[in-house]
Structure 1
Amino acid sequence: MRRQTSTSGINPAGSSRALRLDPLSLPVSFDTHDSRADGGVRSIELHRERVVLRRALHGMRMAVNVRVCDFLGVALRGIDDAQMLALVHRDPSLTIPLCVSSDPDEIASAWAMWSDIFALPQLPEDKSAEPAARRRRHNAIRARRPKFLVRRRSGDLLNPANIHQGEREIIARD
């Protein structure tokens, strides 16, 4: 197995080289910016079938394994004067940058290659990228009656239509 050197990921200070990962030389290990992680850096291992994200958060080291099929696709995003390809996940903190370039031909060819290698769809640039509303979960048990009330018949005592024909209403008086 071949691995790329750590210089292929996060750029050293003063480097003008943009992020470009080679899709044909997987697995790839690189570091990228993570504002919530300790030190502001997270380590990513990118394989054909899975992605491993390693970071430390408040002194606790963690590794997150995510299958590639759990990602939504390879998306094209516009940043300043360049464009970026990213492996997009439903959780934005798991989205992984793949390539940054200002050359449209290079981005188009890299987009097709990453999409083919991961067997994921190409997601176009979305101008109105808003997070999806949280789905409310339906709790089936909440609507059930308690077990001891299941045998009893439910009814409305205030509705006179519930009194059957031939029955008298009994009113207790003191």
Structure 2
Amino acid sequence: MRRQTATSGVNPAGSSRVLRLDPLSLPVSFDAQDARADNGVRRVELHRERVVLRRAVHGMRMAINLRVSDFRGIALRGIDDAQMLVLAHRDPSLNIPLCVSSDRDEIASAWQIWSDIFALPQLEESPFEPAPRRRRRNAIRARRPKFLVRRRGGGPLDATRVHRDEREIIARN
């Protein structure tokens, strides 16, 4: 496994230099910006089949392990005077930057290579909303069988009825 070093083209988070990850030398590990994480940095480990995001939030360290097939595709985003390739997820906070450059030919070739390596579609920049929240199952259904939910609740028992000051009718033989 090859390690990415400061001289191999991977820049630290917050750097204004160009970010270029080599898709042919996976697995790769690098730091990326994360607004929610402590110090604004998260560690990304990128493999052919999976992605591991490591970050600390309020002192609690966590690792998020995602399959590459869980991502929507490789998206092309425009930023100021450059373009950026992103491994796009339904949750925008899980997007992973792959390449930032102002050279259109370089971006186009990298876009095709990343798409082929991960077997994901190439996505154009578009306003995307996160997927709607899935409905959860009804809490009561989990506790009672279906036919009991349909049934009417029972009323008070006959033994609890008290009749006062009435004439009692008794049938004798």
**Structure-1 residue corresponding to 2:151:** 150
Looking at secondary structure, tell me which structure has more helix per residue.
Answer: 2
Distance 1:62 1:132, change over 3 A: closer
In our comparison, the structure showing a higher alpha carbon Rg is 2
Shift of 1:96: 0.1
Runs of 4+ in 1 over 3 A off after TM superposition: 6-13, 138-146
- Uncovered stretches (5+) of structure 1, i.e. residues with no partner: 153-174
Alignment RMSD, CA only? Answer: 2.6
3-state SS of 2:65 partner: strand
Within 5 Å, give how 1:40-51 maps onto structure 2. 40-51=40-51
- Between the aligned residues of both structures, percent identity stands at 68
Shift of 1:147: 1.5
TM-score (norm 2): 0.75
Distance 1:12 1:40, change over 3 A: closer
**8 Å CA contact 1:11, 1:18 repeated in 2:** no
- Uncovered stretches (5+) of structure 2, i.e. residues with no partner: 154-173
State how far apart, in whole Å, the 1-side matches of 2:129 and 2:146 are. 36
State how far apart, in whole Å, the 1-side matches of 2:119 and 2:146 are. 47
Within 5 Å, give how 1:7-156 maps onto structure 2. 8-11=9-12, 17-126=17-126, 129-132=127-130, 134-135=132-133, 137=135, 139=137, 147=148, 149-150=150-151
Q: Residues 27-82 of structure 1, C-alpha deviation per residue, up to 9 Å, x if partnerless?
A: 10100111110111000000000001000110011111100011100000000111
**8 Å CA contact 2:43, 2:54 repeated in 1:** yes
Shift of 1:5: 1.4
Shift of 1:10: 3.6
